Structure 1
Amino acid sequence: MDTGSETPAETSAEPGGETRGGARTDTRRAIVDAAASLLREGGPAAMTTRGVAELAGVQAPTIYRLFGDKDGLLESVAEHVMTTFVADKTAGMAAAEAAGADPLEDLRSSWRRQVEFGLANPAVFRLLVDPDRAVGSSAARAGREVLATRVHRLAVAGLLRVPEARAVDLIHAAGIGAVHALLATPADARDAGLGEAMMDAVLAAIVVADGARADVVRDAPVAAAISLRAVAPRLDVLSGPERQLLAEWLDRVAAG
């Protein structure tokens, strides 16, 4: 795995195309892009060192020097693909907020994109949901933060019937499970409605029932507590200890 340090050989010109200064970054990007293309088209087996080197226009030793081994390159590719995807989701969320979009529909839209991403990038998806790898992935953490922000919008709107952290965990687990189930099924035999059905099931567990449902009366106090808890840190009219105490009380109400 590349440690970020450079040796004299890495800063001098070589037949593989690596030269001084910023060219090292360009070479690294070219290798990652080439590997991502091979990974997307044929999975990990297609991402051979020789194939990556040929597509990126570098020599094989350059790959080992920058990434350590194939596993190091694979991790870098997964991180790159996921980082790009998360950046798009972040931009989409910002646009939705600016436009005053319904937080529930925004969450549904994000869910659909996440399922589509997993199905389109199965190798990257499997890498990023591997617990041993995910814990060290900045892109995976950023993706979870985007989800947490979307759930927070639900809380502020008074739509949550469970604490924010639990809602995030449920959505995250259900999303991973849905994609895993779909990837484990031959493409021509997949249930096209599975992702939506899973989303509906999760929302039924975490979102306040609509006005036509009798249990809305039961949900209302909890939803109100969760909504107030979401904005409690910003209640400047209270002192720090008072805000902390209020948060503790509201957490107890939300937990039921």
Structure 2
Amino acid sequence: MPEQRVSRERVLDAALAIVREQGEQALSARAVAERAGCSVQPIYSLFGDMKGLVDALYEHARAWVADYNRDHARDGKNPFESNGLAHLRLAQTETNLFRFLYLSPHLQPDSFEGLFASVALDGIEECIARMGGLDARAAHELYLDMIIYTHGLAAMLANGAGFDADKMRERLNAASLAFLAKAR
């Protein structure tokens, strides 16, 4: 019988499914292999060890979230609002994945600019600049402030807060207006 090759993508998809359903603590070579329908050998061949798998999984999960954000790009009144709402929704509906990506040692920015670089979406700064009549630097600062503010709400949601969706949207809008006044 010919040897069956197990792809990197298949292993990463299996690991991602485990994290989404059960959280990172459920990851093991055996669990991933079972989910991928293979032995543990391909995991070690492809990734070296579990740390290698988790490092690759982190980037794979970020790509999954980028697709998620694109799927929800029109949920708000504009791309800026849609971005914030998608982050909050991710915290509520994909709690284990949210924790893996944003509430774990895997996200280790060394500065606010490092944080910005790791989570900011293309086109949002330009949207902010147009909507607020801001120059590029002011739009960047407002976006960074909103990333930090929105992430605080999302972290509370991921830990079980039951905030009303309309009240959260009001808070986001109020914060955005306050940061806009500061930026001007």
| 1:111-155 CA-partner distances (Å, limit 9, x unpaired) | 11111122333333233335763549xxx8464142xx2132221
C-alpha contact (below 8 Å) 2:16/2:57 kept by paired residues: yes
Percent identity between matched residues is 22
- TM-score, structure 2 length as denominator? 0.75
Pair 1:105 & 2:86 matched: no
1:192 maps to: 164
C-alpha contact (below 8 Å) 1:152/1:164 kept by paired residues: yes
C-alpha contact (below 8 Å) 1:34/1:55 kept by paired residues: yes
1:176 maps to: 151
Query: RCO (CA 8 Å, sep 6+): is it higher in 1 or 2?
Result: 2
Q: Secondary structure at the match of 1:52?
A: helix
Pair 1:206 & 2:182 matched: no
C-alpha contact (below 8 Å) 1:86/1:142 kept by paired residues: no
* Structure 1 segments unaligned to the other structure (5+ residues): 1-12, 19-25, 97-101, 209-218, 224-256
* Structure 2 segments unaligned to the other structure (5+ residues): 111-115
Q: Distance in 1 between matches of 2:108 and 2:93?
A: 19
Q: Distance in 1 between matches of 2:52 and 2:97?
A: 13
| Runs of 4+, deviation exceeding 3 Å | 87-93, 130-136, 140-143, 157-162
After TM superposition, give the deviation of residue 191 of structure 1 in Å.
Answer: 1.5
Aligned CA RMSD, in angstroms, stands at: 3.3
Question: When the two structures are aligned, how many residues end up with a matched partner?
Answer: 174
Pair 1:144 & 2:117 matched: no
Q: Distance in 2 between matches of 1:122 and 1:72?
A: 23
Q: Secondary structure at the match of 1:58?
A: coil
Q: Distance in 1 between matches of 2:7 and 2:63?
A: 19
Q: Distance in 1 between matches of 2:45 and 2:109?
A: 25
After TM superposition, give the deviation of residue 60 of structure 1 in Å.
Answer: 0.5
2:30 maps to: 50
| 1:171-230 CA-partner distances (Å, limit 9, x unpaired) | 111121111111222xxx61133632441232121336xxxxxxxxxx9xx75xxxxxxx
- TM-score, structure 1 length as denominator? 0.56
